[in-house]
A = this chain, B = another copy of it.
Amino acid sequence: MSKTRIGIAGYGNLGKGVELAIRQNDDMELAAIFTRRDPSSVKPLTEGAKVYSIDSAKDMTDDIDVLIICGGSATDLPKQTPELAKLFNVIDSFDTHARIPEHFANVDKAAKESGHLAFISLGWDPGLFSLNRLYAESILPNGKSYTFWGKGVSQGHSDAIRRIEGVKRAIQYTVPIESAIEAVRSGSQPELTTREKHLRECWVVPEEGADLKKIEESIKTMKNYFDEYDTTVNFITEEQFEADHNSMPHGGFVMRSGLTGDGEKTHQMIEYSLKLESNPEFTASVLICYARALARLRSEGAVGCKTAFDIAPAYLSKLSGEELRASML
């Protein structure tokens, strides 16, 4: 069987993760890396990997089965995914939840008009967490759902801190509050405020002579980002930052506390959790696995835009239906 030829558009942390995930799946191969930078400045981790300007992608449509677009959700993906879906079968990890319907419509139109298949908003949230919300809420219609994130790095919050005057480097961890998780597990279906669910833990390297009190105040009162949370701010040296804050862990919990039975008094609890040492590597592993599903669904004639909700689980596995039933059911 021929391998699925993967193209990577965008070679940051996620793109590198996809490159590494391809190595773990022998039915996949890295066909090309596309970048907006000077291709000669990009040094792939894979010997012999080819790097091209993103502008030349349009000339390589015959060489790529699935293009995984590894840009950011704020400005890159809303433009890139619909554009590239005109040329390729594509996958992205668009994660601005509120704008998913609009993104879906744009990508669906581009993919249908050009006869391509596109999967959007894959990864773990949106992605695996969304799947678990759907399964759990469908199974337990009388219940309450909870999502906790962390402990993990929030890129958006880290960026927000870096924009404050006097901040040289910064990282923000979202920390789920254990007592809140335990309250959910008890089956009591608590109403939890934003402040009761997560803490925000900030580690900041200040510029020399910066006003630390002012930085701390600016962080803690920042609208939408920090004002609704209990936030701690820690000032550290650049050496400490390098030593302790150079990885990108993340994870979280999706929980559904439901009631069944006569009078709906029987507690049932479904919990899904991830503990990830590397968020981009894990997200990349999800994307590659869905690239397999995409190649198969495309070979069956599917076009347009789909999400994790639309894809039968069996498409994700290398095993046949027969093998899956014998080994995993």
Contact = CB atoms under 8 A, between A and B. Distances in A.
A266 B277 contact: yes
A134 B251 CA distance: 20
A286 interface: yes
A269 B124 CA distance: 12
A316 B135 CA distance: 7
Interface stretch (A163-171, A174-182, A212-220, A321-329): A321-329
A313 B135 contact: yes
Interface size class of A (residues with CB under 8 A): 35 or more
Interface stretch (A19-27, A64-72, A110-118, A194-202): A19-27
A24 B309 contact: no
Nearest to A269: B275
B329 A309 contact: yes
Contacts of A278: 260-261, 266, 268
Contact of A260 (B258, B272, B282, B292): B282
A170 to B, nearest CB: 24
A292 B138 CA distance: 10
8 contacts: A24-B141, A134-B313, A134-B314, A137-B317, A260-B285, A271-B275, A309-B312, A309-B325
B139 A289 contact: yes
Contacts of A142: 24
Identical copies in the complex: 2
A277 B285 contact: no
Nearest to A185: B275
Interface in A101-130: 101, 104, 121, 126, 128, 130
| The 9 A-B residue pairs with the shortest CB-CB distance in the complex, in nearest-first order | A138-B316, A309-B314, A269-B275, A260-B281, A312-B312, A130-B329, A266-B277, A266-B278, A138-B317
A277 B267 contact: yes
A276 interface: yes
A121 B326 CA distance: 12
A276 B271 contact: no
A284 B274 CA distance: 27
Interface string A20-43: 110011000000000000000000
A74 interface: no
Given A135-B128, A261-B20, A325-B100, A285 B268 contact: yes
Interface centre among A132, A261, A274, A275 (most CB of B within 10 A): A261
B289 A307 contact: no
A273 interface: yes
A84 to B, nearest CB: 20
A140 interface: yes
Contacts of A132: 272
